[in-house]
Amino acid sequence: MLENISKLNIVRVGSHISFSSLKRIGDGILASFLGMIDQFDVSHHNAPVINSIDAQLLTMVLHQEYGGHTLGITDADLKTQDDDEFYNTIIGGKNPNNDVAVVSTKNLTPDTMTTDNEYNQFIARTLKVSLHEVGHNFGLTDHASYRMGPDGFLCPMSRGEFNKFGYRGYVRAIIDGRGLTFCDECNHFLNRVCRKLTASAKLIADRLVLSA
């Protein structure tokens, strides 16, 4: 829907991740979407402690409460309506009816998180999944193939073959293999979107001046 997408609301749902960690993730998103996302706010959504939540319901709640371009990060499992039990839990998702994406850290946390390296791995994984879902908010689609970015790592939109690895294996093989820069195809698309948004914003500003 691309409404006010230059500002991102990062909303914590749960308490597993600290605000300082969310700010690191926000800084990483701004760096990867340079010139498209200019700022972010960090908020906490008061919700009961739960082990799982319907992903679409969560996006609708966040859209109603925060509106605009929003990324929800939760430690709960994100559930879908898929009849296949293997696919009814997701790491991240985006609601096609608004500009809200959600990420679950449930399967992104290392087995132990007692060292700086393990903590940094957790932040990197959460950031990479966030880039993928925010990319969907801009209209980017998944790469089923293992497409590389200019940094020599997988493009953040690389999806790979999920059922080949299982959740933990998928995180290690695909998410850990993603980089923080988009491939040429994604960058070309994002540049087109950016030009479109800039033109739209200028048109709105011109109309406001004329009506003043």
Question: Above pLDDT 90, what percent of the chain?
Answer: 61
Domain range spanning residue 120?
7-211
**Residue 188, class by beta-carbon neighbours within 10 Å (0-12 exposed, 13-18 middle, 19+ buried)?**
exposed
Q: What is the DSSP letter of 110?
A: -
Q: Is residue 113 part of a domain?
A: yes
Q: Is residue 48 part of a domain?
A: yes
How many Cα atoms occupy the beta-carbon half-sphere of 63 within 13 Å? 17
Q: What is the pLDDT of residues 101-130, one digit of tens each?
A: 999 999 998 888 889 999 999 999 999 999
CB 108 within 8 A of CB 119: no
Q: What is the pLDDT of residues 174-187, one digit of tens each?
A: 999 999 999 999 99
pTM of the predicted model over 0.75? yes
Q: Is residue 2 part of a domain?
A: no
205 has pLDDT over 50: no
40 SS3 class: strand
Tokens describing residue 119: 């903590």
Count of domains for the chain: 1
Q: Is residue 1 part of a domain?
A: no
Question: Residue 17 to residues 105, 111, 119, 209: CA-CA distances in angstroms?
Answer: 9, 16, 11, 43
Please give the Cα distance from 12 to 47 (Å, whole number): 10
Tokens describing residue 22: 């969310």
Q: Is residue 64 part of a domain?
A: yes
Question: Residue 57 to residues 60, 84, 148, 150, 201: CA-CA distances in angstroms?
Answer: 5, 19, 33, 36, 30
Tokens describing residue 185: 């195809």
Q: Is residue 187 part of a domain?
A: yes
Q: What CATH number is attached to the domain comprising 152?
A: 3.40.390.10
Q: Is residue 90 part of a domain?
A: yes
